[in-house]
Structure 1
Amino acid sequence: MAEATAAGYQFTAHAIGDEAIRAVLDAYETDAAGDPGASRHRIEHVELADDDAIDRLAEHGVVASVQPNFLKWAGGDGLYEARLGEERTAETNRYRDMLDAGVRLAFGSDGMPMGPLVGVHHAVNAPADGQRLSVTEALRAYTHGAAYAGFDEDRLGTIEAGTRADLVAVETSPWETPEAIRDIDVAMTVVDGEIVYDGR
């Protein structure tokens, strides 16, 4: 890993459970000893990170590439509880704990045909009250956080002079209706400054 990182490669590994997360962090820490976070190595999913893993993610600058739309299965009688039990389900997808510890969050969907607003909705309305993010925090993880994970934050992820104008206008403010973000419709889509969809 150290040789590949020195050659400019960025690693990502899927790790869902606590043991897998620890194993990936062990490998990344060996590589990142000289310059924590410079490689922006990622772990995809990070669903069962314990306190130690969260601290290590933050300390070594490892990006947590996570999918808040998965939280739709985290409620009572959902997939998580059926597979993990109630106690372990309560320890999954600790986005608030990660963010508060200084972990870089990059939100995505894992390729499911769900728009980002579904993920924002679930991050803001997470079943575990203590893991909920604000609307701004969730949007930032989808935009700037994802751009940062790909070394693209100077070009994407924010709306400011010098960056691509990639954005959407929505019909209702998610800050005014946080309990119904997943139901908000996109009114307009702009890609690199050009309107590509206008439903107004």
Structure 2
Amino acid sequence: MTHAIEGIIPIASIASYGLLGAALLALAERLIPVVPSYGLFIFLGSSMVATPIDLVPLIIATTLASSLGAVCWYGLGHALGEERTHNLVKRFGRYVWLREPVYLSLSDRYSRNAFVATFIGQTIPVVRVYLSLPAGILALPLVTFTLAVLSGSALWVGAFISLGYGLHVLGWNPWIATLVAVCVLIVLECCILWLVRRRKDTLA
């Protein structure tokens, strides 16, 4: 599996460029979600952090790059407008893990509390990538949007980079640590989704 991922995106090769490489990977992950974001950040933390103090510049660089990617999605949504964006999601969304019901749900959440929705959305897989589209369509103030994205991204990125470093300290190989951590997190995601759906069915 690790060789397959490396064949799609040469993660280790790009990461060898240091903070610039890590930032480019964080930006690419936000723009084109080929691999789970937590997998990428766990790998960066386990392969690029030698001492605890190295965590700070790596988290800052990747948080800024990831937030820049979110601003790009915001700009795309703002430029296309609601109708064209919705049509694109209906036609092509399933190819990038953005189905129409998910998109409509994201749009609806902004009508309640845009800042909170943006902040929390940065800590939810897949949602964190596309949440910026409806933000741009609804013309959420860019300063408010950026602050929410930076805050949420710092929490998400920092947690998984720190986890990767922790596995490195325990002597785990970066690829094995990433693979095991991703498998565990995917299982947890599935369990949470199952519980949420079961609760909805019960309430219905």
Same fold (TM over 0.5): no
- Pick the structure with more helix per residue: 2
TM-score normalised by L of structure 2: 0.32
- Pick the structure with more strand per residue: 1
Question: Relative contact order: is structure 1 or structure 2 higher (C-alpha 8 Å, sep ≥ 6)?
Answer: 2
TM-score normalised by L of structure 1: 0.33
